Structure 1
Amino acid sequence: MKKVGIVTFKENAQAYEALSQLKQISKSNTLAIKQAALIKKSFDGTKFVVKDQLDYQSEERVFTGGLIGIIVGILGGPLGILCGWIVGDLAGVSTNYIQNKKLNTIFDRIAATIKNDEISLLIYMEEEDVELLNTMVVDKLHGHIERFDYAKVKEDIDEAKKHLH
């Protein structure tokens, strides 16, 4: 089943370790990594940048954008700010409002999940069983993972693209 996952860690070094481990197990019987990127939310919460990445969809295994690139581009671009996906951080809205805000899209969830100046791991994968990734990033590296169904992510991207035109 195709999924997108966002993994957060207590320390940025753990995110780099997780990406390194993903490179070693890029394909197993229950997990196939298609793309992954370490993304960092800026100190002031206004930008997202890719710090490192891998792409097993292209022949050269060089990050060409794809699904992960689209997500990061929408998150960090003007559309993300205009649609309010990260405006809560920018406008200094009360913490109570941010905590109670209804989070509908993958962009909302990612923006709310990653803390300012934090590096997280964004993964596009085919996953039949959650055990392998849970063992690697949750049990061994003490990370927290949130998974999204690919179909829902695609809907969110398609809806966001409508607002770009």
Structure 2
Amino acid sequence: MENIVVSYNKVESEAYQTFTQLKQREGVIGSTTISNAILIKRNGVQLQTLDDYMTSNENALKGSLIGTLIGILGGPIGMLLGLGVGAIVGSISEMDEMETDSSLIGAMTSRLEDGDVAIIALVQETDEKFLDELLNEHETRIVRYDAALITEEVEHAQQLQKDMEKQTRQKLSAERSEERKAKVAAYKEKIKSQFEHLKKNKKHKDDSQSEA
């Protein structure tokens, strides 16, 4: 089965060790094949890429499913779901329920706290034990998602992000339009006032000449 496997870690050095071993296996661990993987860390409101792995027959990480997922997590959608305002605080059981019933994007923005590290890998596996043995060499929590479902979720999130950006541009454009209308009205009054002032000055001058 093709899965997105997420391994949550609290200790950065341990996550690095695990990821290094993963890379040394060159994409094959028992009956498990790894297409691409990434090691990320949450620093405040940012997701920092610490390391990545791609098989030779893959394109750049930026164009991969995982690369696109990280882009979504670090963009407006991730900020909206909580990555930018702090992780949702709750019991482990509540987090487990969220990861079972919610999306990967929602789960990751909820679980990743400042300083946390995660390994995310796109794999094909017939037996989960091979990858689990490697990941469980250090304390971690492993969660799996159907890669096809995540692909659809990421595409949907991309569309939502585009819609949000479009709506924001439209709103800013409308606000600018209203602001420009207000400026036009103010300029109209200013120009009209200037003409009224000119008329008053001319009348005053004419009256003075008549009296003389």
TM-score by length of 2: 0.65
Q: Provide the aligned length of Structure 1 versus Structure 2.
A: 157
Task: Tell me the CA shift for residue 125 of structure 1.
Answer: 0.8
Task: Tell me the CA shift for residue 14 of structure 1.
Answer: 1.1
Separation in 1 of the partners of 2:130 and 2:65?
A: 22
Separation in 2 of the partners of 1:102 and 1:134?
A: 21
Superposed CA offset, 1:60-90 (max 9, x none):
x8644411111100000123223x2435517
Cα distance 1:102–1:142, how it changes in 2: closer, same or farther (>3 A)? closer
Separation in 1 of the partners of 2:14 and 2:98?
A: 29
The 5 Å alignment of 1:69-108 reads 69-82=67-80, 84-86=81-83, 89=86, 95=89, 99=94, 104-108=102-106
Separation in 1 of the partners of 2:152 and 2:120?
A: 18
1:34 paired with 2:35, answer: yes
Separation in 2 of the partners of 1:3 and 1:157?
A: 14
The 5 Å alignment of 1:140-151 reads 140-151=137-148
- 1:6 aligned partner, one-letter code: V
The 5 Å alignment of 1:13-162 reads 13-25=13-25, 26-42=27-43, 44=44, 46-56=45-55, 58=57, 63-82=61-80, 84-86=81-83, 89=86, 95=89, 99=94, 104-138=102-136, 140-162=137-159
Match of 1:4 in 2: 4
Moved more, 32-41 or 103-112: 103-112
SS of the residue aligned with 1:89? Answer: coil
CA RMSD in angstroms comes to 2.6
- 1:41 aligned partner, one-letter code: R
**Percent identity of the aligned residues?**
23
Q: Which has the higher contact order (CA 8 A, sep 6+)?
A: 1
Q: Is the 8 A contact 2:10 2:115 kept in 1?
A: no
Cα distance 1:102–1:145, how it changes in 2: closer, same or farther (>3 A)? closer
Separation in 2 of the partners of 1:30 and 1:113?
A: 29
- 1:157 aligned partner, one-letter code: V
- 2:12 aligned partner, one-letter code: N
TM-score by length of 1: 0.82
- 2:16 aligned partner, one-letter code: Y
Larger Rg: 2
Separation in 2 of the partners of 1:85 and 1:114?
A: 10
Q: Is the 8 A contact 1:6 1:110 kept in 2?
A: no
Separation in 2 of the partners of 1:11 and 1:39?
A: 12
Q: Is the 8 A contact 1:34 1:55 kept in 2?
A: yes
